[in-house]
Amino acid sequence: MTVDSATRAPDLEERRRRREGDHTLRWTIVGSLAGIGGLAVAIIALSGNRDQPTTPFPERPGYDSCLIGTWASKPMPPRRGTRYTLPDGRSFAVSTVKGGLQYWFRTDGSGATEEVEEIIGRFADGRGVWRRSLRKATFQYSTDIKQQIVYDVKEKTALSASQAENEPLKEDNADVMVANDTYTCLGDNLTLRNADGVEYRLVRQRPARSRAAPPA
């Protein structure tokens, strides 16, 4: 069969367009798959990051994130008949207790405590007496399965003095005792109990919110 050049030219042109179209389609598909693959990699990466531990020091198995933060308590009013014994052995009836106790537990396993206390009362002979003390300590800490905080004290400071009517001021700077505590931490409430059975109830302190700027 004889085909003239006029008839053959459109056929060749059509075939060329089809080949170019197929080539473009192949690159479009490949490019789409590459984009999907990149997205899949990104999703896998995000999923991997989501599953990473958020504990700042995961190598410490005793880490309890509930403790992290600043805690404070105020002294309870003294019970009727409460007495306080001074370092020299004399005791007096307590009428007022002021001050407070604070703890700081940080994510790197370090911490600190500070106690400021003022005790006011009277001796049996009616003379007024007061005692003021400041105790500070820094420490490393860990927790265990018995819900016990184990302290490793690094530095400690104690300043304390007492004075009674008609007597000079007496400084004694009693030692700072930081003994291991058992604890219960629930939300914003922390209870510490020492070996003597003394219980401290502390509340989590949250930073004050900054005021929003007034509208322009």
Kindly report, residue by residue over 144-195, the tens digit of the pLDDT: 888 899 999 999 888 899 999 999 999 887 666 777 889 999 999 999 987 7
- The enclosing H or E element of 190 equals strand 189-193
Q: Which range among 9-18, 77-86, 123-132 has the greatest average pLDDT? A: 123-132
Q: Calculate ∠ Cα 87-92-98, nearest 5°.
A: 85
Predicted confidence (pLDDT) per residue in 127-150, tens digit: 999 999 999 999 999 998 888 999
- Look at residue 158 in the predicted model and tell me its pLDDT: 87
- Look at residue 200 in the predicted model and tell me its pLDDT: 86
Biggest alpha carbon–alpha carbon distance for the chain = 140
Using left for φ > 0, alpha for ψ between -120 and 50, and beta otherwise, residue 62 falls in alpha
Contacts with 96 (C-beta within 8 Å, 6 or more apart), sequence order? 78, 118, 119, 120, 121
- Look at residue 172 in the predicted model and tell me its pLDDT: 81
Task: Give the DSSP per-residue string, 100-120.
Answer: EEEEEE-TTSEEEEEEEEEEE
- Report which DSSP code applies to 25: H
Tell me what the mean pLDDT of segment 93-122 comes to. Answer: 92
Give the model's confidence band at 197: pLDDT under 50 very low, under 70 low, under 90 confident, else very high: confident
